[in-house]
Amino acid sequence: MITIKDYAKQKGVSYEAIRKQIKRYENELEGHLVKQNRFLMLDDEAVQFLDSKRSENPVIVYEQNKDEELEQLRHENKVLLIQMNTVQDQLGKVQQKLIAEMNTTKLLTQEKVHYLEYKAQSEQKEIQLKDLARARDAAQAKADQQEAVLRLKEQQIGALSAAKETAAASLKAADERIAQAEARAKAAEEEASRLKNRSFWDRLFNR
């Protein structure tokens, strides 16, 4: 017993050629074809019969095989075309996906560039803010120092004003004492002059 596939392989022909040959002589082969495990088997008599028919009609068998091979080639070519179209479609999808990924990468690159530019600007602004803060602190320290100097000068001016007022008061008191002394000296001088110029009788009576 042999399967149709193994018989065709043994004879160097296609499975389809043997199947058609069996179909052509199905009446003669009745009872010599056995189905086992889903496979159609040929017994020895069926093999001998098919061999004899193949030897009797080699040209027909050759033409059948040739037609079957052409048909098989056409079928394979059709399958290949279908596969090619499928691959082409898949290639198109892959290309579209690649283009989308490239666009995404481009966008991400642009976003990264923008982020780096923004980061650089932020760092520059932070440096400027720090510089401004240092300048502000320095100006505040200078202002505090100037305010302290101003307060000291105000205190000094206050002290000088108080000293001036004290000196003015002392000077006024001295002027008053001098005036009083001058008045007393003048009065004494006038008295002395009067006494000096008294008449005899006035000196006698102490007038």
The answer to whether residues 105 and 172 belong to one domain is yes
Check: pTM over 0.75? Answer yes or no: no
Residue with tokens 């008191």: 173
Residue 131 belongs to what domain range?
Answer: 93-180
Note the pLDDT of residue 38: 82
Concatenated DSSP letters of 24-86 = HTTTTTTTSEEEETTEEEE-HHHHHHHHHHHHH-HHHHHHHHHHHHHHHHHHHHHHHHHHHHH
| 77 part of a folded domain | no
Q: By the 8 A CB rule, do 19 and 4 touch?
A: yes
Whether 110 and 169 map to the same domain: the answer is yes
Residues of the chain by 3-state class (helix, strand, coil), percent to 5: 85, 5, 10
**Do both 101 and 170 map to the same domain?**
yes
- With respect to residue 193, please indicate whether it lies within any of the assigned structural domains: no
The verdict on 97 and 53 lying in the same domain is no
For residue 136 the two structure tokens come to 């502000």
Which tokens hold the place of 60?
């027909």
Together in a domain, 176 and 103: yes
Rounded-to-integer distance, Cα 197 and Cα 31, Å: 202
Q: Is residue 114 part of a domain?
A: yes
Residue carrying the six token digits 């990924």: 101
Residues of the chain with pLDDT under 50: 59-60
For residues 110 and 173, state if they share a domain.
yes
Same domain membership, residue 157 and residue 114 = yes
From CA 204, how far away is CA 207, in angstroms rounded? 8
Question: Distance between CA atoms of 42 and 33, rounded to whole angstroms?
Answer: 5
In a domain, 104, yes or no: yes
Total structural domains within the chain: 2
| Residue 123 forms part of a structural domain | yes
In a domain, residue 87? The reply is no
pLDDT at position 59? 42
In a domain, 196, yes or no: no
Alpha-carbon distance 26 to 49, whole Å? 11
Question: Are 111 and 48 in the same domain?
Answer: no
Q: Verify that 101 and 174 share a domain, yes or no.
A: yes
Please indicate, yes or no, whether residues 38 and 106 belong to a single structural domain of this protein: no
